[in-house]
Amino acid sequence: MISRNFKNVLVVSIGFLSLFTAYGGLQSLQSSLNAEEGMGVASLSTIYASIIVSSMFLPHIMIKNLGCKWTIVVSMACYVSYSFGNLYPGWYTLIPTSVVLGLGGAPLWSAKCTYLTISGNVYAASEGKKRSDVINQYFGVFFFIFQSSGVWGNLMSSLIFGQDTNIANITEEQLQFCGAAECSLNLNVSGTSNKPAQKLVLTLVGCYIGVGVLAMLIVAVFLDNIDREQASEFRGSHEPLCHTFLATFRLLKDWRLLMLIPLTLYSGFEQSFLSGEFTKNYVTCALGIHYVGFVMMCFAATNSLCSFLFGRLAQYVGRATLFVLAAVTNFSCIIALLLWRPDPEQLPVFFVFSALWGMADAVWQTQTNAIYGILFSQDKEAAFANYRMWESLGAVIAFAYSTFICVEYKLYILLAVLLLTMVTYPIVEYHEYKNPTPCVQQSDYISHKETNKKGDGRVIAQTLM
């Protein structure tokens, strides 16, 4: 029988799985489906810009006032609004809903990370286990389930768009502008691929809205409100509003956080490259938009499996080993993408790139989240708000220059940020190895009621609904 804490991890994971089945599918298609005047990329850039603003102020105050559970539910509603904006995409629908999604993005992820960190520390304290191992496992389980959302979201788009009989024929002339080998500014050549019929687009977005609403219901009904009492106490404490707002920035005084900024930025850069550049300038350009879903399914499936594997493997080989593996993998992929000219006759190569990228991203996501939770366990909300802020800054920078520079230069920028990451991250890891962050007592994390003492005098804490 699974523990109460692990049940909550599963509920959070399944809720995110459902929500990002919708959002992940839409994100993968934005640069191809809404290519007119760069509207899709502008939408993604607006989302991450809004997340940056949101990260500065909202996560700490929302989590402290609403608790993790209801912060997640409210933030999920912001994501669903973006799906409604895609029913009839235009500047007047996509940009406002992108802003709303972005405002909900930072609180959503900060609340999730805080919730998993609390659960991991509670379980580790009650079972006498090493908290870093438990937190790594919990994040591994989460990303195993969560990353599979890319499989289902892209499967839906592939099956629905696969019904379109008006599939574009990619000519040899168009192939000359695919990938990074041709450094011309004809970056919209992939827009020559025919757009799916409007009826199919509406069907797909309608399905995405449905699974988004389902995510909200799953979390609202089944997730335990483990920090309800802390939220109630905070609302009655009358803490100055400016003090709460500035919690994200105060943590920047910690030099360890500053050293982790390149790593966090790189996470945003590499995710935006895959969803904004690889899907458009490699897959859609050479194969057509109907292949985007299948290629991204390969990425998501590999990411999901590796997230679970690395979450457990970290306790045996350590975070540093996994980060080196991810860095070498991404470095190799970047060099190969600089040299390779996309060719429809080399279909398996597209899937190899997405699988390798998924393996590396599994490390960036699980281990970066885990190290934030371990290093800043006393300031979880502010720490994960910083994580989302810097990751989103990397993404918004990448999306912002998307329509202005060639793919070749985007790959060079990605490579430079990766190399910087491998210089600054080891400093933090070495310091943590020499000076481990003290463990935090179980009573610092959760609200609980004490049951009657047993014969051995122990007090059993029960998590409340």
**pLDDT confidence of residue 96:** 94
Domain boundaries along the sequence of the chain: 4-434
**pLDDT confidence of residue 168:** 59
Closest C-alpha among 127, 174, 89 to residue 3: 127
Given a contact cutoff of 8 angstroms between Cβ atoms, the answer to whether 194 and 337 are in contact is: no
Q: Look up the pTM and report it.
A: 0.72
Given a contact cutoff of 8 angstroms between Cβ atoms, the answer to whether 175 and 42 are in contact is: no
Those residues with Cβ within 8 angstroms of residue 371's Cβ, 6 or more apart along the chain or in another chain: 260, 319, 428, 432
Q: How many residues does the chain have?
A: 465
| Residue entry with tokens 């540093």 | 320
Interatomic CA distance for residues 435 and 432, integer angstroms:
5
Q: Which helix (H) or strand (E) holds 450?
A: strand 449-450
Interatomic CA distance for residues 390 and 4, integer angstroms:
33
**pLDDT confidence of residue 62:** 87
SS3 462: strand
**pLDDT confidence of residue 266:** 95
List of the chain residues with pLDDT < 70: 1, 31-32, 35, 37, 164-169, 181-195, 227-247, 439-465
Given a contact cutoff of 8 angstroms between Cβ atoms, the answer to whether 341 and 179 are in contact is: yes
Interatomic CA distance for residues 60 and 110, integer angstroms:
8
3-state secondary structure 142-201: HHHHHHCHHHHHHHHHHHHHCCCCCCCCCCHHHHCCCCCCCCCCCCCHHHHCCCCCHHHH
For CA atoms 310, 325, 437, 386, give the dihedral sign. Answer: negative
Interatomic CA distance for residues 194 and 203, integer angstroms:
18
**pLDDT confidence of residue 355:** 95
Q: What is the CATH number of domain 4-434?
A: 1.20.1250.20
Interatomic CA distance for residues 356 and 330, integer angstroms:
8
Residue 448 φ then ψ, to 5°:
-150, 160
Structure confidence by residue, pLDDT tens digits, 101-145: 999 988 998 899 888 888 888 888 887 778 778 888 888 889 889
